Homo-oligomer: A and B are copies of this chain.
Amino acid sequence: MAKDAYQKTLRSLQIELVKLQRHMIENDYKILVLLEGRDAAGKDGTIKRIVEHLSPRETRVVALGKPSDRERSTWYFQRYVPHLPAADEFVLFNRSWYNRAGVERVMGFCTDAEYEEFMATVLDFERMLVGSGVRLIKYYLDISKAEQKERLAERRKDPLKQWKVSLIDAVALKKWKAYSKARDEMLKRTHNPLTPWTIVCSNDKKAARLNLIRDLLSRLPYDGKQPRLLKADPKIVFPYSESCLRDGKIAP
């Protein structure tokens, strides 16, 4: 996609996001967007474009560090709860409680029992949030192994991105299969009618960003909506279904 066309499209979608925010604030919405995906899948970059022109006071990006000892001893969801949106707030989680089903599962940071307890309760938890009026939207950004490899290599070379290089990245590729397995199990067991997963094929960064924003906007009501701007490409953004794991729509 040409840079100019991308910039122009992005700008028009950001104007829609500003309209959405105004509508949200007038109507006391609470919005919570979760972005999951492997390392280098494009979560940071997508979030940056979403929030770029939104009101900082009503928008929050939450990327929790690793839990303290005290936090590790509490109810798993406890450290996420203070960051949930109140009225008028648009909150984006850059990685979320699904960490337990991804990084923690693969790296052995939680026990099998903790993992099973998480899987057994996460949908109850989400159901309560939805019941309290939170509009909860879950995206999984999916990339191929080749694309991840290239992005991680670039990152190591780019003087502006070197801080992103962590020890966990180093094993992202090595543990590719374990991450795929953990992802598949997470999607299978936590996709549900109330809080479904939406997959975003992210091998093309720009297309992924634009289509995720289109999808997000199309799910929420707001005044002055321009539906013709919001037609997402169904090859880029689509609802999860088990067939995706077989037909190659999700990276094997």
Contact = CB atoms under 8 A, between A and B. Distances in A.
Contacts of A75: 81, 84, 128-129, 132, 134
A30 interface: yes
Number of chain copies forming the complex? 4
A73 B28 contact: yes
Interface in A1-60: 11, 14-15, 18-19, 21-22, 28, 30, 44, 53-57
Nearest to A120: B131
Interface residues of A, number: 50
A17 to B, nearest CB: 9
A131 B75 CA distance: 8
A57 B163 CA distance: 10
Contacts of A85: 74
Contacts of A14: 160
30 contacts: A15-B160, A18-B160, A19-B159, A21-B163, A22-B163, A28-B73, A44-B56, A53-B160, A53-B161, A54-B163, A56-B61, A70-B86, A70-B87, A71-B86, A73-B86, A73-B87, A73-B88, A74-B85, A74-B132, A75-B84, A75-B128, A75-B129, A76-B132, A78-B84, A81-B81, A117-B131, A120-B131, A121-B131, A124-B124, A124-B128
Interface of A: 11, 14-15, 18-19, 21-22, 28, 30, 44, 53-57, 61, 63, 65, 70-71, 73-78, 81-82, 84-88, 117, 120-121, 124-125, 127-129, 131-132, 134, 159-164
* Smallest CB-CB A-B distances: 8 pairs: A73-B87, A75-B132, A53-B160, A55-B163, A81-B81, A15-B159, A124-B124, A73-B86
